[in-house]
Amino acid sequence: MRDVRFLGFDVFGTVVDWRTSVARELTPFLRRHGLGDLDPAAVADEWRALYQPAMEPIRRGQRDWTRLTVLNRENLETVLGRYLDPRRVAADELAALNRAWERLDPWPDAVAGLTRLKTRFAIGPISNGNVSLMMWLAKYGGLPWDVIAGAEITKTYKPQPQTYIGAANLVGLEPAEVALVAAHNDDLAAARMCGLKTVFIPRRTEHGAGQTSDLEPSQAWDMVAEDFTALAERLGC
């Protein structure tokens, strides 16, 4: 990690707790539409389950570059369509609900940890979230990014190599001068293949209390820390 000057962060799950936050945003909507019996966390999971498949045609070049905000909106209509007729919901109301992804709470250690890390490193997202989504999310949660890198800059989605390499290029550094910080082993594996350094932070309740994935590092990553403040400590910030 000695040569690292930029820490790039996966965001959904690593920096912010999307599941609890999206469930909170869904709750009044579901109640308003007579769906108060549904578990909002389960609906959040259904929404999120469409995230990877929606990016896949873009990764494969079968669909033109499309921002995550647009994919999220399409996926929202798919999920709601299981319970009601989404055409009967006002477009404004769907748009407002889709902005749930701009109001995701940071994990409790995130802002304090990032603020310390920022003193020694340049920091920014390397996320599949588009730039404006990352910008509003940072304003909502007080995330002190120096720059916003990620999928939109290279117009393809992680784990395509170009996303990681393009992030290093954007900040004017070699891949080995950039570390990806993520709670997901597959994200780190893809970053390592591109020459980035890798930092694993477990987020054992990202998917709720019964989570079975990404509880432990699956490879000998360059660094493992319990949370962002522990990482700051380890890096002497």
Residue numbers at the binding site for a second copy (CB under 8 A):
69, 122, 124, 130-136, 138-139, 145-148, 152-153, 170-173
From the CB of 145, what's the least distance to a second copy, in Å?
A: 8
From the CB of 158, what's the least distance to a second copy, in Å?
A: 19
Given the complex with a second copy, which of 173 and 223 has the nearer CB atom? 173
Encoding tokens for residue 178?
């950039």
Encoding tokens for residue 12?
């959904």
Given the complex with a second copy, which of 4 and 170 has the nearer CB atom? 170
CB 185 within 8 A of CB 218: yes
Which of 201, 166, 208 is closest to 182 using CA atoms? 201
Given the complex with a second copy, which of 119 and 205 has the nearer CB atom? 119
Sign of CA dihedral 173, 175, 176, 179: positive
Given the complex with a second copy, which of 138 and 196 has the nearer CB atom? 138
Residue 233, classed as helix, strand or coil, is helix
From the CB of 122, what's the least distance to a second copy, in Å?
A: 6
From the CB of 150, what's the least distance to a second copy, in Å?
A: 11
Which of 14, 4, 15, 9 is closest to 222 using CA atoms? 4
Helical (H) or strand (E) element with 123: strand 122-127
